Structure 1
Amino acid sequence: MVVDEPTTLGVIDAGAHQLSVSATEQADRTSPVVILLPAMGVPATYYRPFIENLRERGLTVVGIDFRGHGQSRPRAARGVRFGYQALVDDVDAVVDLVAERYPRAPRFLVGHSLGGQITMLNAAARPDRVHGTAMLASGSVWFRSFPGSRGIKNLIGTQFIAVVSTLLGYWPGWSFGGRQPTALMRDWARMARTGRWSLTGSTTDYEKALGELRLPLLTVTFDGDELAPPSSTDHLAGKAPHAVRTRRHYSLADAGAEKLGHFGWVYRSAELSRWISEWISSCDATAEGPASAVGPHSAGRGGAASG
């Protein structure tokens, strides 16, 4: 497969952080835009096969490197401080860029793993900004949402990571997640322990906001995925009972693959891309749906872009 090189859409200035945003575009600027949010520790370039499949379905795809990964700087280290709320805010800045460049295009958040969690939180806080949200291999990390002994193992592992992150001043990425700041891992571990979203430094009641979310929601689980089993996905999606949910499971037969799991589906995503395209069409989105992108909220965050 020959994959088109993405163009640089902008560089978001988020205080001490410079966040790289790229786009694989359609010639038609009114084509639906997928804002693709990556898994923890995964650079945007990993998704190039998936992005190409989405492009072939007539979708513009905008990718972002989360703070400290890929082309975004600086790397996580002692003294680099941010948690989930910063990532939620970063998505607002990306939506600003998308709305400026494609003002007549419907906008959809599509997230993998951690990215799926962020799509839900962002959509709950700002439901007027996008036409729908999708979670791929994504769900709650609450230990009780995992079957059998996996729940206890999940609880022990997440709390161990939180303790190490606190002691070292960052998570060094030992066998999981890449280098991450302490606050992010503590937000993650808190959710794993309590089953509720309570983000460091945030005044938003995300449990309440999710309960009021009414956007279209697509959830996709995958054969062989032990990190986001269907029970985990159902727990997170269940926090938004009024969202119009489409539930799908991507099997080995669907993918034409011998193995999928939490990450491998990216390389066998042709049929998945068709599902996403059809879901977007079913949303009956119009460019007049969400509010205009740039307003007092984004201006106050310093989310200007260049490039």
Structure 2
Amino acid sequence: MSPTEPRLVDRGTDRLAVRHYPAASPGAPVAVVLPAMGVAGRFYRPLAASLVAAGFAVVVADLRGTGDSTPAPNRSSAYGYADLADDVGAVLDSLKADYADRRTVLVGHSLGGQAGLMHVATTPDAPVDGIALVAAAVPYWRSYPRHGLIVGAYMQSIGATAAALRVWPGWTFGGRQARGVIRDWARSGRTGAFPPINGVDTEAAVGELTTPVLAISIDEDAYTPHEAVDHTVAKLRRSPVRRERIARIVAEGRPAHFAWARSPEPVTTLVQDWHASLPPRP
């Protein structure tokens, strides 16, 4: 299935690229896909096609500075997690003309899931009926059962390099990123907590969130192990959470963290079943 041409959402000096995959039936629920760090939205075409076949209209938004969003991160790019969370709100606002009053769920992969969760937790009136987190978690070094100290040291070395160079060049990990994104990522890896957003205690806000959550982790995912997802889900004290673990998906020789998006049927089936269980809109 081919998407529409990317639509651009203005964010000051930056623009976010958003692709629409229309549903076969009018009034279909909307799944907004938020990608992982450094992953272009076009990578999720198999997921979008699978979700459309399952009855969703699908929107895939490139994260700021990634894919067809412009400009690419440079030494003057200072944005961080707070901006990525606000970008989710801007994307949702851009959908109102096409999808007003439709049930909407976020499907966030890795960093995209974190951004979506932070946005909904800190925006009480966000028009989101549920959040599906796929291999998405705070990357707390203590949550890595193997080589946690090495993982933690590696994350902090990336944070220090990005601060010194004023941009992360993408060496070995994550693609080219603004230093603020890497700063917040490294901080969350060190502390196990979400950073504050616009003066709001994000940890407390996540704890008060009541939006339904589907949390999926994948066997042999070295980037987001089951334990990291468990650590993050434990923060959701009031949200109804459906916790799922799936077997490793083998696709194109990719690591487990990414392969699922190329053969997405197990994830789509869970999202479809979970969505059907969501309470009706008030």
**Would the TM-score normalized by the shorter structure come out above 0.5?**
yes
CA contact (8 A) 1:78 1:168 kept: yes
Aligned residues: CA RMSD: 1.7
Partner of residue 108, structure 1: 105
CA deviation string 1:4-47 (max 9, x = no partner): 21114631110000111111011434211011000000000001
CA contact (8 A) 1:222 1:260 kept: no
**Greater RCO, 1 or 2 (C-alpha within 8 Å, sep 6+):** 1
Tell me, yes or no, if structure 1 residue 242 matches structure 2 residue 241.
Answer: no
TM-score of the two chains, using structure 2 as the length reference: 0.94
Partner of residue 219, structure 1: 215
Partner of residue 131, structure 1: 129
How far the C-alpha of 1:164 sits from its partner, in A, is 0.4
CA deviation string 1:144-175 (max 9, x = no partner): 12214x21112101110111001111000001
How far the C-alpha of 1:98 sits from its partner, in A, is 1.9
Structure 1 residues 7 and 241: alpha-carbon distance in aligned structure 2, compared to 1, 3 A threshold: same
How far the C-alpha of 1:104 sits from its partner, in A, is 2.6
CA contact (8 A) 1:9 1:97 kept: no
After alignment, is 170-179 or 135-144 more displaced?
135-144
CA contact (8 A) 1:132 1:215 kept: yes
Partner of residue 303, structure 1: none
Structure 1 residues 37 and 259: alpha-carbon distance in aligned structure 2, compared to 1, 3 A threshold: closer
CA contact (8 A) 1:225 1:260 kept: yes
Aligned pairs for 1:31-180 within 5 A:
31-129=28-126, 130-148=128-146, 150-180=147-177
The answer for unaligned runs of 5 or more in structure 2 is: none
Matched to 2:145, the amino acid is P
Find the aligned partners of 2:71 and 2:6 in 1 and give their Cα distance: 19
Find the aligned partners of 1:24 and 1:47 in 2 and give their Cα distance: 11
CA contact (8 A) 1:88 1:121 kept: yes
How far the C-alpha of 1:278 sits from its partner, in A, is 1.1
Find the aligned partners of 1:259 and 1:41 in 2 and give their Cα distance: 15
TM-score of the two chains, using structure 1 as the length reference: 0.87
| Identity score, percent | 36
Find the aligned partners of 2:256 and 2:12 in 1 and give their Cα distance: 36
CA deviation string 1:184-211 (max 9, x = no partner): 1011111111112224x72111011011
How far the C-alpha of 1:91 sits from its partner, in A, is 0.5
CA deviation string 1:49-91 (max 9, x = no partner): 1111111001011111111111110111111220011111110
How far the C-alpha of 1:256 sits from its partner, in A, is 7.8
CA contact (8 A) 1:127 1:215 kept: no
Paired residues, what number? 280
Structure 1 residues 9 and 71: alpha-carbon distance in aligned structure 2, compared to 1, 3 A threshold: closer
Find the aligned partners of 1:211 and 1:271 in 2 and give their Cα distance: 29
Tell me, yes or no, if structure 1 residue 186 matches structure 2 residue 155.
Answer: no
Find the aligned partners of 2:245 and 2:255 in 1 and give their Cα distance: 12
